[in-house]
Homo-oligomer: A and B are copies of this chain.
Amino acid sequence: MVATHALPVGEEDSAKRRQILDGARKVFMTLGFDGASMGEIARAAGVSKGTLYVYFTDKNALFESIVEQEKLEQGKAVFNFDTARDAEATLAEFGRGYIQLLCRPGGGSAIRTVMAIAERMPDVGKRFYEAVLAHSIRQLAAYLDARVKAGELKIDTTELAAAQFMMSCQATLFQPFIFQAKPTPSPEEIDRVVDSALRMFLAAYRA
């Protein structure tokens, strides 16, 4: 049995709800949780302030929905982890795509915004980490498992190795980027750093 007059709050996917989420994401990601005001969100979404409260019980709930949505979208960023391809090409391609994603304008926004609030909203932080960051690690680790099985690599703990590779690809790029200490890195810089990280990785883990 389906409710014919379901409350908007219940509808997980009305057009209005999506419209609000889209406006709110921009504002939250730009200004952070505290810096974002419900008024500005309403304006960005093109709805009235009152309507916000029809779809979301309060600012926190709206923010959590944004993070939820962000999790889904960042989770969608698929990399070509064809387990038949060799590690060198696959990892180089993945590393470049990964850093480009992180360091594109607005790319660190979700990470920054969620990290900023993590102390006050630990659940939000934890769920985001699990769904986005740990998820990527697990994807890469699964690929590494396959290449270990294929005899190309020799790795004890693939999850740790995956995280190591991802972190070393960020070296000198991501932190200056989110701290606004350097501008968006060029493709050449990314290539250089990822190549270096890849060389280190293969030196250690090539079978």
Q: Hey, which bits of chain A sit against chain B, CB under 8 A? A: 30-35, 109, 112-120, 122, 125-126, 128-130, 133-134, 137, 156-157, 159-161, 163-164, 166-168, 170-172, 175-176, 178-181, 192-193, 196-197, 199-201, 203-205
State whether B168 touches A116 (Cβ < 8 A): no
One complex includes copies of this chain to the number of: 4
Q: Which of A32, A117, A125, A133 counts the most chain B CB atoms within 10 A?
A: A32
A160 to B12, CA, bound (A): 46
B179 touches A114 (CB 8 A): yes
**Chain B min CB distance to A3 (Å):** 14
Are the C-beta atoms of A164 and B168 separated by less than 8 Å? Answer: yes
Cross-chain contact of A125 among B114, B126, B179 (Cβ < 8 A):
B179
Least Cβ distance of A170 to chain B in Å?
A: 6
Q: Point out the residues of chain B lying under 8 angstroms from A175, CB to CB.
A: 129, 133
Q: How far is the CA of A109 from the CA of B120 in the complex (A)?
A: 12
14 contacts between A and B (CB under 8 A): A33-B34, A34-B35, A112-B118, A115-B116, A116-B116, A128-B179, A129-B180, A133-B179, A134-B181, A137-B172, A157-B196, A164-B171, A164-B200, A200-B204
In the bound assembly, the distance between CA atoms of A125 and B204 in angstroms comes to 34
Given A34-B35, A116-B115, A181-B129; A160-B134 close (CB under 8 Å): no
Residue numbers in B under 8 Å from A35 (CB-CB)? 34, 120
B-side contacts of A159, CB under 8 Å: 172
Say yes or no: B129 contacts A164, CB within 8 Å. no
Q: Tell me the smallest distance from the CB of A121 to a CB of chain B, in Å.
A: 9
Contact indicator A119/B112 (Cβ below 8 Å):
yes
> In the complex, which residues of chain B have a beta carbon less than 8 angstroms from the beta carbon of A200?
164, 200-201, 203-205
Give the chain B neighbours of A192 by CB distance below 8 A.
160
Q: In the assembled complex, how far is the CB of residue A62 from the closest CB belonging to chain B, in whole angstroms?
A: 17
